[in-house]
Amino acid sequence: MSGIAKRKLSNSVAMGISVLCAAIGLGLLFLILYDVVRHGLSSFGWTLFAKDPAPPGMAGGGLRSAILGQILLTAAALLAGVPTGVLAGTFLSEYGRSLKLSKIISAVSDMAVSIPSIVTGAFVYAILVKPFGGFNGWAGAAALAIIVLPVIVRTTESMTSMVPWSLREAAFALGAPYHRVIVGVVWRAAAGGIFTGVLLAAARAAGETAPLLFTSFNSGHFSLNMSRPVPSLTVTIYQYAASPYESWVALAWGAALAVTAAVLLLNVTGRVMIGLKQRR
Amino acid sequence: MDLLTVNNLNFYYGSNKSLDDVSLPIRRNSVTALIGPSGCGKTTLLRCFNRMHDLYPGNRYEGEILMDGRNILDRSEDLISLRSSLGMVFQKPTPFPMSVFDNIAYGLRLRRIRNSALIRDKVEKSLRQAALWEEVKDRLKESALGLSGGQQQRLVIARTLAVDPEAVLFDESTSALDPVSTQKIEDLMIELKKAVTIVAVTHNMQQAARVSDYTALMYIGKLVEYDRTEVIFTKPKHKMTEEYVLGKFG
Ligand SMILES: Nc1ncnc2c1ncn2[C@@H]1O[C@H](COP(=O)(O)OP(=O)(O)OP(=O)(O)O)[C@@H](O)[C@H]1O
Ligand SMILES: [Mg+2]
């Protein structure tokens, strides 16, 4: 076989294997989605959003408390994580851009993104649950905030450093002090990208179970009281899916569908925004 | 009268000396052209005037640039007010990602001007000065990023004029533009010098000859010759100047 023929053959073999793997991956993904939708739809309906879970063994009930709790926890996490993350990311790309410390912080954030979330959960358990004598919503929100923080730091840093320096120089040349350059020009230019990062981080937080198991845990009743356990969809799936009660298993499927839909929606919105931005 | 007087200026990017003992005046209400082969230090000199180099660590000035009797290279110089009085227009247009109106108003709002009628007047006046008003008066609320390159460059000029600078520094500001836009900006410079002082870096010898009153030729960080433009173009003292303006080297 000539060299070229050999290369052509190995090329097609490699190509074939990659396509096959991609097909398996996508197939599995669609299988999961199909299963979630099929099972989830049977318990999908207005009761799912309007009612709290029924006691074990009794039919009916919904996930109102878990849905609201999930939103509450995610929103609290973003409320703490987004401003902190955006400011930290901005520091890295602006004031601290030539500091060695900034490079270290960036690298640490990169690592922090891949810390297993159960470790984060255990850490928060040690500092915000154990000392305060019980599971509580603040701890859950804190765990999620720790998870979103590095994502937002890094997105902000990369989005703001993509803003060309010539734009900053133009603002400086008008006599703008640095903070006005950042707020009026850099953030404005990077806003789409930062917002996308926040959506993707929110999707990540909304899909987490492990850190909530240790922190906000679960409760059948809805309350806005963050110093008590706060229910969430993901922990509900974990508990109900493994329960012996049929009605709870059905609710778990409903919860799975709700979480999947929410996370997909956030992700797709984020990706579409990235796409729109790149086309411009 | 001189707006700026450069005396024995040296400039270093880190340890790399890029301006070597440069001295020249910048006369008020006139256009001074900075010419010379690529890499000779034209941009570097221009950016000394508004202390743009201070944005990056490791840069160093020696010598003096006098303005109203003070050395603007002093540490104590207020860079915000210096840059307010010496506007700068870059090679590539730099519209901010906001509306046409907000682009022009940016510098006014920086100066805490809140009176919206005042801002509106000023926006219109600056856009007229930059010969852009007729083209954008119906799209003031639209994003400035949607303007053509030539319009964006005039927008940047209007934005610079809106804050009433004493001088505008142009760094090859027409090199990315078509002949018609270039012509408009050249006409604009001639018109503007009634009100402001202009320093323009250019590689375009016709532009320098047509627009400027004074011309400075630089070569490898040094000032070769500075004189009235007609002298530089007709009977320069240095052979190098004659060859450069005739396009024989560079
Ligand atoms: N940021 C920088 N760091 C180090 N050296 C630089 C920097 N910018 C410019 N220089 C050097 O300083 C010298 C003068 O550069 P400058 O940009 O002022 O030239 P110029 O005359 O404007 O050239 P051009 O016509 O190509 O724009 C060059 O040798 C260049 O390599
Ligand atoms: Mg240059």
Assign A60 a pLDDT band (cuts: 50, 70, 90): confident
The mean pLDDT of chain A is: 90
Return the sign of the alpha-carbon dihedral for residues B192, B195, B200, B205. positive
Report pLDDT for A171: 96
Nearest-CA residue for ligand 1 atom 7 is B13
Report pLDDT for A148: 95
Could you give the angle at the alpha carbon of A223 between the alpha carbons of A217 and A226, nearest 5°? Answer: 60
Report pLDDT for A277: 67
Is the CB of B160 inside a 6 Å radius of any atom of ligand 1?
Answer: no
The tokens for A110 are: 């990169």
Is the CB of B40 inside a 6 Å radius of any atom of ligand 1?
Answer: yes
Torsion on CA atoms B153, B159, B161, B167, rounded to nearest 10: -70
For residue B98, which residues of chain A lie inside 8 Å, CB to CB?
188
Nearest-CA residue for ligand 1 atom 22 is B43
For residue B90, which residues of chain A lie inside 8 Å, CB to CB?
166, 169-170
Assign A278 a pLDDT band (cuts: 50, 70, 90): low
Assign A220 a pLDDT band (cuts: 50, 70, 90): confident
Of B52, B92, B111, the CB nearest to A173: B52
Closest chain B residue by Cα to residue A184: B106
Specify the ligand 1 atom closest to the Cα of B41: 18
Percent of chain A past pLDDT 90, that is, above it, reads 53
Helix axes B116-129, B100-110, angle to 10 degrees: 120
For residue B83, which residues of chain A lie inside 8 Å, CB to CB?
172-175
Question: A47-279 in CATH: which number?
Answer: 1.10.3720.10
Is the CB of B96 inside a 6 Å radius of any atom of ligand 1?
Answer: no
Q: How far apart are CA B156 and CA B165, in angstroms?
A: 13
Note whether A175 contacts B84, CB cutoff 8 Å.
yes
Range of the domain at B155: 2-245
Q: Which ligand is nearest to the CA of B38?
A: 1
Q: Which ligand is nearest to the CA of B18?
A: 1
A104: helix, coil or strand? helix
Note whether B87 contacts A173, CB cutoff 8 Å.
yes
Q: What is the CATH number of the domain that holds B104?
A: 3.40.50.300
pLDDT tens per residue across span A89-137: 999 999 998 899 999 999 999 999 889 999 999 999 999 999 998 999 9
Report pLDDT for A280: 53
Asked if residue B12 is part of any domain, the answer here is yes
Note whether B88 contacts A184, CB cutoff 8 Å.
no
Strand partners, B60: B12
8 A C-beta contact, residue B157 and residue B170: no
The tokens for A176 are: 């703008």
Domain boundaries, chain A: 47-279
Report pLDDT for B78: 94
Alpha carbon of B171 to ligand 2 centroid (Å)? 7
The tokens for B128 are: 């007229």
CB pairs under 8 A between A and B: 62
Question: What number of H helices and E strands is found in chain A?
Answer: 12, 0
Report pLDDT for B178: 86
Distances (CA, A) of A227 to A71, A73, A125, A134, A222: 16, 12, 14, 9, 13
pLDDT tens per residue across span B69-79: 999 999 999 99
**pLDDT for A26 beyond 70:** yes
Closest chain B residue by Cα to residue A170: B94
Strands in chain B per DSSP E: 2-13, 16-27, 31-35, 59-67, 70-71, 86-89, 167-171, 197-201, 214-219, 222-228
B34, B42, B44: which to mutate for ligand 1, most atoms within 8 A of CB? B44
Total domains present in chain B: 1
Q: Which of B106, B155, B164, B166 to mutate to test the interface with A (most CBs of A within 10 A)?
A: B106
Could you give the angle at the alpha carbon of B189 between the alpha carbons of B184 and B191, nearest 5°? Answer: 95
For residue A276, which residues of chain B lie inside 8 Å, CB to CB?
none
Assign A1 a pLDDT band (cuts: 50, 70, 90): low
Alpha carbon of B13 to ligand 1 centroid (Å)? 9
Asked if residue B67 is part of any domain, the answer here is yes
Q: Give me the interface pTM, i.e. the ipTM.
A: 0.93
pLDDT tens per residue across span B120-150: 999 999 999 898 999 999 999 999 999 999 9
**pLDDT for A39 beyond 90:** no
Neighbours of ion ligand 2 (CB under 5 A): B 43
Q: How far apart are CA B163 and CA A57, in angstroms?
A: 74
Closest chain A residue by Cα to residue B92: A166
**Chain centre distance of CA B46:** 7
8 A C-beta contact, residue B88 and residue B50: yes
CA B85 to chain A, closest CA, distance in angstroms equals: 8
Helix axes A246-279, A3-43, angle to 10 degrees: 130
Specify the ligand 1 atom closest to the Cα of B46: 18
Assign A53 a pLDDT band (cuts: 50, 70, 90): confident
Report pLDDT for A279: 59
A60: helix, coil or strand? coil
Q: Which residues of chain B have pLDDT under 50?
A: none
Of A167, A180, A188, the CB nearest to B94: A167
For residue B164, which residues of chain A lie inside 8 Å, CB to CB?
none
Strand partners, B20: none
Q: Which of A174, A182, A186 to mutate to test the interface with B (most CBs of B within 10 A)?
A: A174
Confidence (pTM): 0.86
